[in-house]
Structure 1
Amino acid sequence: MKLKYTLFPSFQVSLFMVLTITFSGFAQNKKQADLVSAYKEYTELPREVGYAHLNKTTYLKGEIMGFTVYVFDKTNKKPSETTTNVYCTISDENNRVVKSEMILAANGIANGSFQIDNYFTSGEYTFKAYTNWMRNFDEQNYYTQTVKIIDLENEDIQKTKISTSKLDAQFLPEGGHFVADVKNSVGVIVKDSLGFGVPNVTGKVLDSKNNTLIDFKTNNLGIGKFTYLPKTRELYKVVLNIDGTEQIFPLEKAENQGIALTLNDLENRVALSLRTNENTLKQLKNKDYTLAIHNGNVLRTVNVNFGKSLEVTKMINYKDLTTGINIFTLFDENSKPILERMFFKYEGIKLLIAQNPQTVDLKDSLTIKIPINNINSTSVNNFSVSVLPGETKSYNPTNNIISETYLQPYIKSYIENAAYYFTDITRSKKFELDNVLLTQGWSSYDWNTVFNHPPKELYEFENGISFRANVNNKTTLEYMMYASINNEMQVFDFDEGDKDFGAVGLYPMDTENIRFSAVKKNNNLERPNLYFQFSPSGIPDLKTIGIQAPLYDETVSKTYIGQKISKSSWENAEQLEEVVIQTNKTLTREDKLSVVPFGKVKVIDDNVRKSNIFLKDYIRQQGFKVFEYMGQLMIFSPRPFTLGQGKTITTAGTLSGTYNTTITTPGVVVYFNDMRLANIDHLSHYTMDDVDYILFDKSGASEAGAGAPGVIKIYTDPTLSQSKMQRNVTQEVSVPLAFSTPKKFYTPGYTSYQSQFYQDYGVIGWFPRLTIQADGNIHFKIPHQLIDHLSVFIEGIANDGSFISERKEINLK
């Protein structure tokens, strides 16, 4: 089946609303109007965000990296309906691209694979997935994931990264500033030397006299929070205790003037408190500040005036916030941003729930069915599934499909294990994520860039491949481009004086070339001599490393060194020995295709192609009447037409009161790859090169009650090799950058399926494009591996905006 795409796609631009809401009831001032105007210009170009589900994150040399890429409209979080060109790369630690490919997306979904072959050595690599359009923006809307590759045959496998006892501790004031004589809320991040959060660290805040002001503790990801009231000219420090060892960190000195910010989630509304001290209040007299609330799409503003008060609190209802990230920024009277805080609203995220898997044990395989509730099968849905041994150590992605879509593109740094906050969501996890956002500081929307450097459309939105062909022969009237796997045949009219022609929206695969013929005035074909320029012609460079989270990966045991995969993933595609089966009659392909209720099927082979260069000649040979007149092609059935067929025309006779009645002979109905043709003139010079088989129905019975005077159904196969005809009438063009054909995923063979090595790093199956079946389940089949425990990792979308990210355990005992 051919992929159907619009030839001239239009970007589905979401409405970028810029609203101004004054909760305090004051009118919008000029400063706010300027802010709104700058923000509107900055957000005018629509954004996409990408996510890639990799089958795992630690690979053994000899395996295949499988991945499914999802591309979303950043505003409405729905799959992009027009994106087709998705680029995927793997880079080494020096940011040198080792492998790359362009994959074809439909409805925002694409899949591909990389072989982990001899181009790789043991070490860490970075996988990226992006579109050309994403390169226009400072926010990191593309996807990146650190992966580890292990060469078990190399004894210098990888220098083990050892975490030292020294901690990296950060104490970040909420909003961005420590302010003296004001209660400050402070976020805590404690990481080890490898960049991972240190769990359950106890800490205390001490003044200069070593008096303890407050105690706190980090969570399992090294995140904590405390509040204290620093005094002017006083110095403070934090003492952290880990495994009985104390480490001391000085706190930044509080500023004498400034504003401190505290946000509290009250479940149905948000309380945003702004506090200042007496020194600052004198400077704030009669000055209007602006609180902006935005999410990269919608902007709202609130007037802020301290008057004579040291504290101003704004209560904002949930209904006035957007689902996902909300960014609060306080601007001074000169429209300078001075404080920022992010808040995440969970309400509105649509989550799908997978039920307990069902298994059906077959002789040599296991069929697994997983029910997923509330699926609308008529809308786009796709589920990518990785099946690994139950205790695997090789699957540790930084994000899942929800966190990468709703959270990561809005922050400047990485959040360790961001998927944690969107798996089995609880009130406690919401609180923990809010603490994380407290520590993030400024968002990925830089206000200097918003005001002074709005993005420009430097990199175009791509939909397929385009070309321009320069013409040398001025006598040719038309050029014909033959059908390919994803594109129908096209004819290009060429007026005198034209120097070139072109097309957009082509989707060539890496297994094919594009073929052209020149059409002369007498409708004969000849080989053209065209010079082509294609766009894109190469993988575009992101020119940025991007936000890269460290990969959590346990040390590979030295006992694994020297172990081997018995057979690499790509070696599983074996060529079987020829097997001769004797039977009374062997059904040919023509016999099988001929099992149709009406008509007869003719399979076209090279002998037929050599004897009949043009399709019209072969149709004539089958007994049909074929005529050409003034550029028109007409095909009629050899059988007399029956009652009801044809069009009756009545004209006045030569004698008064007489009439002449004639019935026009109707042409046969012609289908091309199951698409009925309203006009068949372009078939006049269509060759037999890629014609696979044709159904001839001279009676027209296959059209049921339509009364068709004959039916011809033509089926092509663009992958057929060009016939060795006596004269070559086509020019084959190799496309410099074609779409990679999705390859079948093969699991490698292992020397043992019972070893701890296999339990830790083995692969069972990868299914990149599963859809919901009529019974409400996703189905897949895996071979028996003689293990008792499986882990199934599911990521996907459905219902035009619903997400799923789950891990399911299957016990086979």
Structure 2
Amino acid sequence: MKTSNTHLSKSKLSFIFILFFTFSVLSQNKNEKSDLVFFYKNYTELPREISYAHLNKTTYLKGEIMAFTVYVFGKNTKKTSTTATNLYCTISDENNRIVKSEMILAANGVANGSFQIDSLFTSGEYTFKAYTNWMRNFDEQNQYVQKLKIIDTEAENIPKIKVTNSNIDAQFLPEGGHFVVDVKNSVGVIVKDDLGFGVPNATGKVVDSENKTLIDFKTNQFGIGKFTFTPNAISNNKVILDFNGTKQTFSLEKAESTGIALTMNDLENKVALSLRINENTLKQIANQEYTLAIHNGSVLKTIAINFEKTTEVVKMIKYEDLNPGINIFTLFDEENHPILERLFFKYEGINLLTAENPQIVTTNDSIKIKIPINNIDKNLANNFSVSVLPEETKSYNPNNNIISETYLKPYIKSYIENSAYYFTDITRKKKFELDNVLIAQGWSSYDWNTVFNHPPKALYGYENGISFRANINDKRASEYMMYATINNEMQLFRVNESDTDFGAVGLYPMDNEVIRFSSVKKNNHIDRPNLYLQFSPSKVPDIKNVGNTAPLLKKSANNISWENTMFQSSWDKAEQLDAVTIKTDKVLSREDKLTRTAFGKAYVVDDNIRKSYVYLSDFIRTKGFTVNETMGQLLIYNPRPVSFGQGETITTKGTLANTTNTSVKTKPVIIYFNNIKLTNTDMLYKYSMEDVDYILMDKSGTSEGGVGAPGVIKIFTNPTTSQSKMKINASQEVSAPLTFSGPKKFYTPAYTSYQSLFYQQYGIIGWFPRLTIQADGNIQFKIPHQLIKNVSVFIEGIANDGSFISTEKIIPLEN
């Protein structure tokens, strides 16, 4: 190392500042009003979401179902979103044309859906995306993107596996971004073939102008490597790569006469950051103050850097001063120009779960599998998605897992091949390899030109279900009633004569479910309105900023026959059973809820009751209430009210002189319709029992608190049945242009053989999108008994409000 002092007897360390320091955070920075801090705060002010989708496979046969579970996280918190509801999922072809799309409903940051791989698809590569509308506001790639392969086994020409040629692409990236003359430079290496895959085990050497070898290096299984050398001002350095006996030569970038070189070393409990300059640079910047910024897209920490009279400054950064996951180191000059940047990943602080040895219970036709998950707090939300495939599968090759997609991918510009590798069975070797990858990544996805000059704007709204505006065409109506749907209770909209429209947000219509409206005229007459509605969103939006997408990971397949692979597709029986399954789950959950009713008695209306009582009034009379139903009006009274203050006291003259008669005018029973308190009950005149789902009757009126109610009746309709004749005649049906796609029960296709090579490599056994921890601490599921020896179980999931799991378990099914 050259310094201004040529006295060789002095120790090298006397010219290096080695500092342990405390960072200044945004709110505590002495330069709090500096441009860097101001613009960073402005750029990161809008909250970000990120998404990850666990797919049941990545290679599909025509006739199968592509199934997936999507997880949405806060980018800064790494916890599942409690507010995201509208999730968009698309499959596009190689021309970026969307082939299929749907909107699915997320709850507590988790949703699941599926696509049928049907006649719309041909053999080829496709791209699956999962995102929210809000993600479209940001340049960083916060959405989920995964390549897929689809094979039409009946096509005459099934695409052959692409073969690479001998040409390779190599990049040699100086750590931090600059080659500097007469300074030791650390260089990241990335070598790829013409398909974008890393070239494994390529050997290379750096040579000078006289072909003298300066250093040797070798790439790992993903084509990643690293070397250090000191370039001079004269020599033109080159790299000679040898791969499979073929040599190729690449010129190294010319080193700069002045500049700053960076080297970072992970010392396990701290990071050593070394900034080096040559003598020419020292003369220019000795008295200048630089700023080292460290951030993760949320928190920015800074420290001043000054070279003074030394050509090397070393900063020792304690792990506790870094954030779990990505830390972006950027050096700025006095004018806040970014000079160099380095990414570092801190594994410590990421909460990882592990799956223990499974328990197997075998019956004649099925196998129950229980897998214990360690360190689970069952009181906190958790969800696990599981794909079960034959052990020798070639069809499950995602590039990311839930950890890499959450902690790594949103912060880099390009893609990292098989990034899931660095977060599965984590070792010290994998940590070292990931660090080499990050050197080769260069600058992060946070472009400083954009940070300073183009902060994001909320051009695309944060969606909560579907909203609408309804234009009013009838001034005679005083109220509009929107009937209950599967996910929404009945709503009543009161309008004034001056109102021209009304609207609502937070609607969740499912699977082309229609929305029904009735108008309530000023004379309390119910009629069919003539509304013109505009909905938002009205279509699935596309997302453009997907950047470079990782190619589908290679797994060599043996020569197999594609004929007679399946004799029954996945969806052949799915549609006819879905409605039954969903309806059964819904009834059970409602009955559980009704048994916990605090006041009164619940009556669930079944088909037998509907046959026995044509009108609602008939049924209510049998429960001890008095019903006056005549001339289009309906009033319900409690003949024996329990609570005090049940009516108005009326005094009249008696028939005898100087006498009076005293009576009490009884109040009618309070009526609720789908939790809307009715001010006028005439809408229930001759109301059919066809729609009524259940009724809560509280004769004491206790549920109304201290208002002295003579009784309360709450009527709930069933949105899954057709509306009654009265309601059809007096209601307007409106179809929203976009509704939520409900989750479908997953069915595996029936294969011609379960011992064939085809099935072992491309078959699927089971998919379980929404598993939760049972009372015994296990996740459990059943698979059919197909006489195979071993299965691969791929588990992804979240728990404990911030813990992650991503693992593969090979489970033997035969003892």
TM-score range, shorter chain: 0.7 to 0.9
Give the Å deviation of 1:22: 4.6
Q: Is 1:335–2:336 an aligned residue pair?
A: yes
8 A contact 2:601–2:698 mirrored in 1? no
Query: 1:710 and 1:466, CA in 2 relative to 1: closer, same or farther beyond 3 A?
Result: same
CA contact (8 A) 1:633 1:681 kept: no
Equivalences for 1:596-615 in 2 at 5 Å? 601-603=604-606, 612=615
Give the match for residue 18 of structure 2: none
Change (3 A) 1:535 1:174: same
Following the alignment from structure 1 to structure 2, what is the Cα–Cα distance between the partners of residues 123 and 727? 48
Tell me if structure 2 keeps the 8 A contact 1:102–1:539: yes
The one-letter amino acid paired with 1:222 is: G
> Residue 392 in 1 paired to residue 390 in 2?
no
Moved more, 119-128 or 514-523: 514-523
> Residue 487 of structure 1 aligns with which residue?
488
Provide TM-score, normalisation by structure 2: 0.87
Partner of 2:314: 313
The 8 Å contact of residues 369 and 782 in structure 2, kept in 1 or not, is answered as yes
Deviations 1:451-483 (A, max 9, x none): 000001100000000000001110101000000
The one-letter code sitting in structure 2 at the alignment partner of 1:731 is Q
Call closer, same or farther: CA 1:125–1:610 in 2, change over 3 Å. Answer: farther
Residue 402 of structure 1: aligned partner: 403
Per the alignment, residue 376 of structure 2 pairs with 375
1:709 shift after superposition: 7.8
- 2:125 corresponds in structure 1 to 124
**1:326 counterpart residue number:** 327
**1:600-650, Cα deviation, whole Å (9 max, x unpaired):** 6543689779954xx56763576523579xxx9975444x356xx445999
1:419-568 pair list within 5 angstroms: 419-554=420-555, 557=558, 559-568=560-569
What letter is aligned with 2:239?
Answer: V
Question: Which whole-Å deviations, capped at 9, do the CAs of 1:350-378 have from their partners, x for residues lacking one?
Answer: 11111111121122211111111222222
Look up the match of 1:729. 730
Q: What is the number of equivalent residue pairs in this alignment?
A: 762
TM-aligned CA deviation for residue 160 of structure 1 = 2.6
- Cα distance in 2 for partners of 1:633, 1:311 equals 90
> Please, what TM-score do these two structures have when normalized by structure 1?
0.87
Is the Cα–Cα contact under 8 Å of residues 693 and 716 in structure 1 kept in the other structure?
yes
Is 2:195 the partner of 1:194? yes
How far apart, CA to CA, are the structure 2 residues paired with 1:650 and 1:736? 52
Q: How big is the shift at 1:560?
A: 2.2
Instruction: Identify the residue that residue 744 of structure 1 maps to in structure 2.
Output: 745
**Partner residue of 2:232?**
231
Counterparts of 2:410 and 2:215 in 1: how far apart (Å)?
Answer: 35
Contact 1:606-1:723 at 8 Å conserved across structures: no
SS at match of 2:80: coil
Distance across 1 between alignment mates of 2:410 and 2:727: 59
What letter corresponds to residue 206 of structure 1 in structure 2? V
Matching of residues 88-107 of structure 1 within 5 Å: 88-107=89-108
- Return the alpha-carbon distance in structure 2 between the equivalents of residues 429 and 347 of structure 1: 14
Write the letter of the residue equivalent to 2:398: P
1:152 to 1:382, Cα distance in 2 relative to 1, 3 A: same
Aligned position for 1:9: none
Match of 2:683 in 1: 685
Contact 1:50/1:70 (<8 A) preserved:
yes
The change in CA–CA distance for 1:648 and 1:213 in structure 2 (over 3 A counts) is: same
Cα gap change, 1:438 to 1:361, in 2 (>3 Å): same
**Alignment of structure 1 residues 670-709 onto 2, 5 Å:** 679-681=677-679, 685=683, 688=688, 691-695=691-695
* SS of aligned partner of 1:501: strand
Name the counterpart of 2:59: 58
Match for residue 285 of structure 2? Answer: 284
1:582 aligned residue: none
What is the CA-CA distance between 1:346 and the residue it aligns to?
A: 0.9
Say which SS state the counterpart of residue 473 (structure 1) adopts. coil
The structural deviation recorded for 1:232 is 1.1
Equivalence map 1:522-671=2 (5 Å): 522-554=523-555, 557=558, 559-573=560-574, 601-603=604-606, 612=615, 619-620=620-621, 623-626=624-627, 635-638=636-639, 640-641=640-641, 645-646=643-644
8 Å contact 2:647–2:666 — kept in the other structure?
no
Q: Distance in 2 between matches of 1:679 and 1:280?
A: 79
Task: Provide, for residues 96-132 of structure 1, a one-character-per-residue CA deviation record: whole Å limited to 9, x for no partner.
Answer: 0000000000001111100000100000000000000
The change in CA–CA distance for 1:131 and 1:598 in structure 2 (over 3 A counts) is closer
Whether the aligned pair in 2 keeps the contact of 1:87 and 1:100 (CA below 8 Å) is yes
Note if contact 1:184-1:228 (Cα within 8 Å) is conserved in structure 2.
yes
2 CA distance for matches of 1:432 and 1:602?
64
Matches of 1:552 and 1:36, distance apart in 2:
41
Alignment of 1:34-183 (within 5 A): 34-183=35-184
Cα distance in 2 for partners of 1:33, 1:461 equals 31
- State the SS of the aligned residue for 1:477: strand
Rounded to whole Å, the distance in 2 between the matches of 1:130 and 1:99 is 14
Mapped to 2, the partners of 1:54 and 1:803 lie a distance apart of: 17
RMSD of the alignment, in Å?
3.5
In the TM superposition, what is the alpha-carbon distance from 1:696 to its structure 2 partner? Answer: 6.8
2:219 alignment partner in structure 1 = 218
Displacement of 1:779 after TM fit? Answer: 1.5
In structure 1, how many angstroms separate the alpha carbons of the residues matched to 2:106 and 2:681?
A: 31
**Residue 759 of structure 1 corresponds to which residue in structure 2?**
760
Residue deviations 1:374-433 (CA, integer Å, cap 9, x gap): 222222111111011111010010100010000000000000111111111111111111
1:466 counterpart SS class = strand
Alpha-carbon spacing, 1:682–1:259, altered in 2? closer, same or farther (3 Å): farther
Give SS of 1:619's match. helix
Deviation at 1:509, TM superposition (A): 0.7
- Cα 1:575–1:432 shift into 2, 3 Å: closer
- Shift of residue 245 of structure 1? 3.0
Q: Could you tell me whether the CA contact under 8 Å between 1:155 and 1:562 is conserved in 2?
A: no
Is the 8 Å Cα contact of residues 616 and 683 (structure 1) preserved in structure 2? no
Q: Percent identity?
A: 66
Aligned residues of 2:164 and 2:193 also touching (Cα < 8 A) = yes
Cα distance 1:683–1:760, how it changes in 2: closer, same or farther (>3 A)? farther
Residue 573 of structure 1: CA displacement? Answer: 3.8
Aligned to 2:571, the other structure's residue is in SS state helix
Offset, 1:289: 1.1
Q: In the alignment, what sits opposite 1:579?
A: none
User: Contact (CA 8 Å) 1:609, 1:688: kept in 2 or not?
Assistant: no
Task: Give 1:314 deviation, angstroms.
Answer: 1.5
Per-residue Cα deviation, 1:721-741 (whole angstroms, up to 9, x for no partner): 133459700100000000001
**Separation of aligned partners in 2, 1:518 and 1:403:** 53
CA–CA distance in structure 2, aligned partners of residues 520 and 178 of structure 1? 79
Alignment CA distance shift 1:356-1:701 (3 Å): farther
SS at match of 2:793: strand
- How many angstroms does 1:155 deviate by? 2.3
Q: Deviations over 1:179-235 (max 9, x none)?
A: 110000001112222211122222222222222222222222221111111111111
What SS does structure 2 have at the residue aligned with 1:387? Answer: strand
Structure 2: how far apart are the matches of 1:492 and 1:316? 60
Q: Secondary structure at the match of 2:517?
A: strand
AA in 2 matched with 1:691 = D
2:790 paired residue number: 789
Structure 1 match to 2:261: 260
Q: Is the 8 A contact 1:324 1:346 kept in 2?
A: yes
Aligned partner of 2:255: which letter?
A: A
Q: Quote the Cα distance in structure 2 between the aligned partners of 1:609 and 1:479.
A: 32
Counterpart Cα distance in 2 of 1:796 and 1:680: 45
Displacement after TM superposition at 1:543 (Å):
2.7
AA partner of residue 603 (structure 1): D
* Preserved CA contact (<8 Å) 2:613 2:619: no
Question: What is the CA distance between 1:27 and its match in structure 2?
Answer: 7.6
Question: What's the counterpart of residue 581 of structure 1?
Answer: none
Q: Secondary structure at the match of 1:431?
A: helix
Residue 240 of structure 1 and its aligned partner are, at CA, apart by: 2.1
Shift of the 233–471 alpha-carbon distance from structure 1 to 2, 3 Å rule, reads same
